[in-house]
Amino acid sequence: MARDIKLSIKNLYKIFGPTPDVALEYVRKGMGKAELLEKQNHVLGLRDINVDMRDGEITVIMGLSGSGKSTLIRHLNRLIEPTAGEIRFDGEDVLKYDEEQLRTLRRERMSMVFQKFALLPHKTVLENAGMAMDVRGFKTGDFESEARKWLARVGLEGQENQYPHQLSGGMQQRVGIARALVSNSPIMLMDEAFSALDPLIRSDMQNLLLELQEELKKTIVFITHDLDESLKLADHLVILKDGGVVQQGDPQEILLNPNDPYIVDFISDINRARVLRVRSVMTQPDQDGIEYAGDISEKDNLESVLSRSKGDTTLTFRVVRDGEQVGMLGMKELTRALVPTEASADKASRTD
């Protein structure tokens, strides 16, 4: 069943410079980022962004440095004001909010997890976790039990009286996630939240986020420049380049059917077995009496199925959801899905 749209971005533009409205007309006529800077001395931040973010899903905004992803997320709570366009939250026009409505939006309806943790060094872990409640006027005693609950859920039970400098980077980021959860806001904005962490800790944090999301069904907007992270976390993936959307949709569909050489370059070296899911390559049973080698979940990655097959390409597995068959996957079809998309000629020429 389709989820309701929680956040909707329509025709959003952001241009940095002294006369953005004038520069906007050049952009609408087709002027690109480099030309706008050279001829008009303005910086194109975002160009005609149209994205719907559904309730209870993780929308990942991915792109290289300068693509506009951090600029985009800061429009959602109006830390940055757009040059043109529309932002709607539960159908309400966020751009029409007055100062009081904006304070409510930032304090109660949208929480933010930052790359650099943004913990207050003079406050304890418990006090940092309850920061959203503190700024709403609550005393520590009012939110202590809630803060302790979420600190325990993110693996920090017993650390409540520590200070940020006494924690590792991964532990500090767990405090940031707990803080967002204590606020009980329906939307979590996560701006490169895991990119400052070591690879193993980063993977643990991704798993923790998915585990919490399975239970809480928050609407999460996650910013990253890492394709593996995008494919692991995203329900809906949006890929930016030079301020514009190149492609968006189901990450599995994008991986299988890239529509632009820029994206082909991105995915050409990806470990497809690790990121492709059974649901993306399974087929419907086309005959009775098939001898299945076993049951697999539609959510399993192809790497796990390869491991189970032990290299036997004659096997066929039954794909199940909640105990019911929803498809089948033969090892020959799986193997074909692992053939990588060829990198663009432009990329090939750069590596010569």
* CATH number, domain containing residue 279: 3.90.1280.20
User: Which backbone phi and psi does 220 adopt, to 5 degrees?
Assistant: -115, 130
Tokens 């189901």 identify what position?
250
Residue that terminates a domain, selected from 203, 232, 249: 249
Residue 71's domain is classified under what CATH number?
Answer: 3.40.50.300
Q: Say how far apart CA 315 and CA 233 lie, in whole Å.
A: 30
Tokens 């904006």 identify what position?
102
Q: Do 62 and 202 share a domain, yes or no?
A: yes
Q: Do 196 and 242 share a domain, yes or no?
A: yes
- Predicted confidence (pLDDT) per residue in 142-153, tens digit: 888 889 999 998
Structure confidence at residue 138 (pLDDT)? 83
- 281: in domain: yes
- 35: in domain: no
Q: At what angle do helices 33-40 and 20-28 cross, to 10 degrees?
A: 140
Q: Do 223 and 279 share a domain, yes or no?
A: no
Q: Say how far apart CA 197 and CA 224 lie, in whole Å.
A: 13
By the 8 A CB rule, do 46 and 72 touch?
yes
Strand 219-224 versus strand 58-62 pairing type: parallel
Q: Do 78 and 176 share a domain, yes or no?
A: yes
- Predicted confidence (pLDDT) per residue in 272-318, tens digit: 888 889 998 999 887 677 889 999 999 899 999 999 999 898 999 99
Strand partners, 244: 241
Q: Do 76 and 221 share a domain, yes or no?
A: yes
Strand partners, 239: 62, 247
- Predicted confidence (pLDDT) per residue in 324-351, tens digit: 899 999 999 899 888 876 644 444 444 4
Going from the C-alpha of 199 to that of each of 192, 195, 204, 206, 269, the distances in angstroms are 14, 9, 9, 10, 18
Q: Say how far apart CA 206 and CA 70 lie, in whole Å.
A: 19
pTM, two decimals, is: 0.86
- 192: in domain: yes
| 61-89: average pLDDT | 94
Q: Do 197 and 314 share a domain, yes or no?
A: no
Q: Residues of the chain with pLDDT > 90: what percent?
A: 59
Q: Do 59 and 144 share a domain, yes or no?
A: yes
**Domain count of the fold of the chain:** 2
- 260: in domain: no
Q: Say how far apart CA 337 and CA 161 lie, in whole Å.
A: 51
Structure confidence at residue 347 (pLDDT)? 47
φ/ψ region of 277 (left if φ > 0, alpha if ψ in -120 to 50, else beta) reads beta
- 122: in domain: yes
pLDDT score of 137 more than 70: yes
Strand 219-224 versus strand 187-191 pairing type: parallel
Residue 231 CA, distance from chain mean position: 9
The alpha carbon torsion through 261, 264, 268, 270 (nearest 10 deg) reads 150
Which of 3-7, 43-47, 137-141, 170-174 is predicted least confidently?
137-141
- 90: in domain: no
Which of 4-13, 14-23, 109-118 is predicted least confidently?
109-118
User: Which backbone phi and psi does 263 adopt, to 5 degrees?
Assistant: -75, -35
Q: Which domain holds residue 322?
A: 275-337
Q: And the tokens for 267? A: 């995915």
Q: And the tokens for 293? A: 């080698």
Q: Do 182 and 120 share a domain, yes or no?
A: yes
- 170: in domain: yes
> Which residues are within 8 A (CB) of 55 and not within 5 positions of it... i.e. 6 or more apart?
3, 4, 5, 6, 186, 217, 219
Q: Do 230 and 117 share a domain, yes or no?
A: yes
Q: Do 117 and 225 share a domain, yes or no?
A: yes
Q: Do 73 and 174 share a domain, yes or no?
A: yes
pLDDT score of 170 more than 90: no
